[in-house]
Amino acid sequence: MNLAAIRDLLQCAILAGGESLDIEVDTVVAADGMSAVLAAPHPGALMVTGLANIQSVRTADVAFIAAIVYVRGTRPNETAVEFARKKKIVLLSTALGMFDTCGILRDQGLKGAT
């Protein structure tokens, strides 16, 4: 599924990387603990998190995550957004909670990271 479809499905605001919404993802990593994401990298995956700070973007960079969806309407500060732009990581924000976000994505055929 491409990021544009995910944006529409989850009614996301685009925070960074709007020009890259054609990227395809098939795996979702959902965590607020960034060590869990780093423990088992999934290049090209979508990360779902409520941790809205620069550490989430740095983790995405190190783990080769294509995009982050921030849940519960959280948004990182401008420093994190600028870092994401520099690293070409798409940032989206949805008002949905993590449980609902992950359920919707699973229902659309995306798989969870193991």
Tens of pLDDT, residue by residue over 52-90, are 999 999 999 999 999 999 999 999 999 999 999 999 999
The Cα–Cα gap between 8 and 62 comes to: 27
CA separation for the pair 46, 37 (Å, rounded):
11
Domain that holds residue 98: 3-112
Cα gap 66→84, rounded to integer Å? 10
Q: Give the C-alpha separation, 13 to 114, whole Å.
A: 28
pLDDT band at 113 (very low <50, low <70, confident <90, very high): confident
Contact 32, 74 (CB under 8 A): no
Domains held by the chain: number: 1
Rounded to whole angstroms, how far apart are CA atoms 13 and 28? 18
Q: Where are the alpha helices (DSSP H) in the chain?
A: 3-10, 34-39, 54-62, 78-87, 98-107
Can you give the CATH number for the domain in which 74 is found? 3.40.1390.20
Task: Please classify residue 58 by burial: count the beta carbons closer than 10 Å to its beta carbon, then call 0-12 exposed, 13-18 middle and 19+ buried.
Answer: middle
Q: Is the pTM of this model over 0.85?
A: yes
